[in-house]
Amino acid sequence: MPCGSLLDRFRKSPMPNPTLKKNRWQDHYARKAQKEHYPARSVYKLQEIQRKHRLIQKGDHVLDLGCAPGAWLLYAAEQTGEQGRVLGVDLKAVAILMPSQARAITGDIFDLDEALFKPFNDKFNVVLSDMAPDTTGNKHVDAARSQNLAEEALNLAQRFLEPGGNFVCKIFQSGDFKQFTDAVRRCFKICKIFKPQSSRKASREIYVIGIRKL
């Protein structure tokens, strides 16, 4: 039989691929992000949160912590509209083209220059954090690092969020998870815990949402 015929038969009858089947839904989000010109599939996590809770309003000032590669930054800018302002901060530079109401700076959230916030009158209506640590494979170490980032995000929200403002923060679930949610409940009128459908099923990430800062 000619080689071409064998190849045709192989293409028509592919071997089962359990990994492909398992990741089909996840691949859907990656393809969708590419089609809709977002730099990462993580945008759909914020989209789910926004559709459910309407945390970002037109004209809002938004602080996006851990903004690279820029998917949340773009989506937040779409929600605020041209009258809003979005400031992103990340250790990594953001290379995408951004609308006029969005800006990204390269910096460390543990050592931020507060002068950067002057154009925002030092206050924001929404603080977002999709930060995640560089993972080690040790779930205890990774959870501790995630907790540290989440606590600093909450600290910045307490300092720079307007009364009545909203907060979204990713954190890895661990033994200290309740400690963090209790801290959010003390700062906000409402605290919600949310696992987006677009999160990878094996991921231990969860989003803590604080609504209407006290």
Residue ranges of the domains in the chain?
A: 40-213
58 is catalytic: no
Q: Which residue in 35, 92, 170, 213 is the catalytic one?
A: 170
Using CA atoms, how far apart are residues 37 and 52, in angstroms rounded to an integer? 23
pLDDT at 146 over 50: yes
What is the average pLDDT value for the chain, to the nearest integer? Answer: 88
Domain 40-213, architecture per CATH: 3-Layer(aba) Sandwich (3.40)
Tens-digit pLDDT profile for residues 57-113: 999 999 999 999 999 999 999 999 999 999 999 999 999 999 999 999 999 999 988
What would the mean pLDDT of 102-125 be, rounded to a whole number?
88
Using CA atoms, how far apart are residues 205 and 25, in angstroms rounded to an integer? 18
- What pTM was computed for the model? 0.86
Edge-to-edge order in the sheet of strand 188-194: 102-106, 85-90, 61-65, 124-129, 161-172, 205-213, 188-194
User: What is the reported pLDDT for 13?
Assistant: 38
pLDDT at 11 over 80: no
Quote the longest CA-to-CA distance of the chain.
76
User: What is the reported pLDDT for 117?
Assistant: 80
